[in-house]
Amino acid sequence: MPFSGSLAVDLVDPKILHGSQISMCELEHMKKYPNAKVISLGIGNTTEPIPDIVASSMADYARALSTPEGYSGYGDEQGNKALRKAIAETLYRGLPIKDTEVFVSDGAQCDISRLQILLGSDVSIAVQDPSFPAYIDSSVIIGQAGDFQEAVEKYQNIEYMECGPQNNFFPDLSSTPRTDIIFFCSPNNPTGQAASRQQLENLVKFASENGSIIVYDSAYAAFITDGSPRSIYEIPGARKVAIEVSSFSKVAGFTGVRLGWTIVPEELLFSNGIPVINDFNRIVCTCFNGASSVAQVGGLASLSSQGFKAVLSVVDYYKENAKILVDTFTSLGLKAYGGVNAPYVWVHFPGSSSWDVFSDILEKTHIITVPGSGFGPGGEEYIRVTALGHRDSMLEASTRLRTLFP
């Protein structure tokens, strides 16, 4: 008998945002206005070239693969030993992170799904609201979520932790029910907000008291400028309750190269006392054959002294873009959050549908944004704009927006 199920129909909420939806809207708009110069402030895709020191290292390695001396096949599933050590020593300098606790991957989003395989379907989860859609989507696919409740636009078995300006973008933990897993992103996508040290101390304490595991997404840590923690492991006790997922996508411009990592501390234990790292290592060895050796060479180059300075200079470029966007929306009398510790600006349009705002801006200015409701019910009335673009595009977008909201 043929398989008759449909994941798209039965499991995944059609209101959850996917990049393909934005792309479809852009294609339809370009058909309608074929001569328009569309500016994308939507999907968070980097645009500036990878620094030459990094790209050259990958090119040299790739060319060497054509020689007997330079060829290599499978590597360690956990990642290149030199790269694991560089991540621990460069990005977690001063923290007790061992290179053996670092698992190199093909991206943070892929690791989120591998972690879901590790955690299984029989766990309860909490997510920030709004939040990056992958946490919820992967929870739905793995079977953790219950039925979708149309009235509130939430899944029944997922705890949505409200994170907005009314609570400084941090959940009220005193009223948050206990869950097995807490997905937490800081600096946050989409709001651009970085949790303070005190907030993260409260989160770690909450997880410790409740026997919860925090899956901490630090993909935008390189953008932090105000002294907020760049890693959950800066917080005492975090090694016993947290897994950290991160990425080279934004810090090194590797959105297309694909390289990330996950840290699983040895002290993190399941309730039966078994180290989580043992099971995650099994997942990696079973479901993954290791990140591209070419990409890993690039990652290693980006963490060299000269390479790290080069990639951070590109991060600074995007930070200046973000300032341009924040200043633009603020000058128009709109409340804009983020744009300081992350490449995203979260703009509030009180009383408006986020999809209506998206459509209005696209129709009148030919600018692509992202409707906030795609990040969960807490994103209604907001749009997200990205600073990961060319400077001339940011300046032109600013000019167009000023004509729309005079």
Tens-digit pLDDT profile for residues 146-201: 999 999 999 999 999 999 999 999 999 999 999 999 999 999 999 999 999 999 99
Interatomic CA distance for residues 234 and 215, integer angstroms? 15
SS3 state of residue 183: strand
SS3 state of residue 177: coil
Query: Which ranges in the chain are annotated with CATH 3.90.1150.10?
Result: 7-50+307-404
Residue 37's closest CA among 48, 26, 45, 46? 26
Residue 21's pLDDT band (boundaries 50, 70, 90)?
confident
Listed in sequence order, the residues at least 6 apart from 405 whose beta carbon sits closer than 8 Å to its beta carbon are: 332, 333, 334
Burial of 72 (0-12, 13-18, 19+ CB in 10 A): exposed
Listed in sequence order, the residues at least 6 apart from 366 whose beta carbon sits closer than 8 Å to its beta carbon are: 29, 33, 36, 37, 38, 39, 400
Query: Which ranges in the chain are annotated with CATH 3.40.640.10?
Result: 54-305
Q: CATH assignment of 7-50+307-404?
A: 3.90.1150.10
Question: What tens digit of pLDDT does each residue of 195-248 get?
Answer: 999 999 999 999 999 999 999 999 999 999 999 999 999 999 999 999 999 999
In DSSP notation, 288-333 reads: -----HHHHHHHHHHTSHHHHHHHHHHHHHHHHHHHHHHHHHHHTT
Interatomic CA distance for residues 145 and 155, integer angstroms? 6
Q: CATH assignment of 54-305?
A: 3.40.640.10
Please compute the mean of the pLDDT values over residues 302-316 and round it to a whole number.
98
Contact 145, 154 (CB under 8 A): no
Supply the pLDDT for residue 23.
86
Residue 29's pLDDT band (boundaries 50, 70, 90)?
very high
